[in-house]
Amino acid sequence: MKNRALVTGGAGFLGSHLCDRLLSEGYDVICMDNFFTGQKENIAHLIGNPYFELVRHDVTLPYFCEVDEIYNLACPASPVHYQFDPVQTTKTSVHGAINMLGLAKRTKARILQASTSEVYGDPEIHPQVESYWGRVNPVGIRSCYDEGKRCAETLFFDYYRQNQVDIKVVRIFNTYGPRMHPNDGRVVSNFIVQALRGEDLTIYGDGSQTRSFCYADDLIEGFRRMMQGPADFPGPVNIGNPGEFTMLELAEAVIRLTGSKAKIVHRPLPQDDPKQRRPDISLAEEKLGWKPTVDLEAGLQRTIEYFRSVVGNVSNGDARV
């Protein structure tokens, strides 16, 4: 009999790649999504596959099924979207974690949480190691996401200690690739869409802030290795690409690779925007034998190809306006 996996947020950017990967490995996949930021286009090619099941459901409400593995990805990831309804964002992380952990407890499924580098906040330690506790503003505009994800991690480790739930916590650093929503508002999709449309690339602040960008395929490989890894390693583990770039460097790379005549303009820096971020991935290398294989240039080229095919439907590259 096939192993059955539940992917919450399965119609989103990363969730849809994970559904593809699990189906290709012979899993029976249940994709749960409320379509807040997910797109039916991301999973349209899977409809009709007898081993793929799509369920419209909100993870903040209890959900019952029989499964072997749960991947909890449901949560808007872009600041524009998670700040749209911040109370719902916290509920999604916290109530969603409680519901999925309860399901894992009953079914004895192994459960993976899509956590985030945001748990480190605006970090004083560089690069970020898993043992660092972070510097997060509890009352700012990013807190609904950051603190929601931190509380979800707490719930995961309490279910692990109290109920022996088999947990896996992955801290994802900025990940990009095909199937990001064109109006998602995150920096890679914004810059590519703007460049392809010949619009100005909107750098927030002076562009000296840094991020490390991981290509989606590398991230999904990290998820799978973590899910199949040793039971005595619940994480948390950083999964990301240690290559670190300023937003100015990213904008210049996108302009060069698209061949766009677009210019760079500066916009105000959002509140609490972290100044720098780079993962220390030694733990992932040691425990999972994982490291990224796609560099920024190659990943951007693949992502640009994707956006060329969808950009005709894009109304606005900067989701803030």
Closer CB to ligand NAD, residue 13 or residue 260? 13
- Minimum distance of ligand UDP from residue 308's CB (angstroms): 19
Q: Is 175 in the site for ligand NAD (CB under 6 A)?
A: yes
Q: Is 182 in the site for ligand NAD (CB under 6 A)?
A: no
Q: Would you state the structure tokens that stand for residue 10, as one six-digit string?
A: 């399965």
The per-type count for the chain, helices as H runs and strands as E runs, is 9, 13
Choosing from 39, 72, 174, 212, the residue that interacts with ligand UDP (CB under 6 A) is: 174
In the region spanning residues 70 to 89, those forming contacts with ligand NAD, defined by CB under 6 A, are 73-77
- From 145, 159, 160, 215, active-site residue: 145
Q: What is the SS3 assignment for 171?
A: strand
Q: Is 181 in the site for ligand UDP (CB under 6 A)?
A: no
Cα–Cα distance for residue pair 281/236, rounded to 1 Å: 11
Cα–Cα distance for residue pair 301/284, rounded to 1 Å: 26
The verdict on whether 120 is a catalytic residue reads: no
260 binds, among ligand NAD, ligand UDP, none (CB under 5 to 8 A by kind): none
Other CB atoms within 10 A of residue 267 CB = 13
Site string for ligand NAD, 25-64 (x = CB under 6 A): --------xxxxxx-------------------xxx----
Residue 182: Cβ-neighbour burial (10 angstroms; 0-12, 13-18, 19+): buried
Contacts 24+ apart (CB under 8 A), 16-24: 16/42, 16/43, 16/179, 17/177, 17/179, 17/216, 17/217, 17/220, 18/71, 18/73, 18/220, 18/223, 19/43, 19/46, 19/52, 20/46, 21/220, 21/224, 23/49, 23/51, 23/52
Q: Is 270 in the site for ligand UDP (CB under 6 A)?
A: yes
Site string for ligand UDP, 245-264 (x = CB under 6 A): --x-----------------
Residue 69 β-bridge partners: 5, 110
211 binds, among ligand UDP, ligand NAD, none (CB under 5 to 8 A by kind): ligand UDP
Q: Is 190 in the site for ligand UDP (CB under 6 A)?
A: yes
Residues that bind ligand UDP (CB under 6 A): 78-79, 174, 186-187, 190, 202-204, 209, 211, 247, 270, 273, 318
Residues that bind ligand NAD (CB under 6 A): 8-9, 11-15, 33-38, 58-60, 73-77, 92, 114, 116, 172, 174-175
Catalytic residues: 145
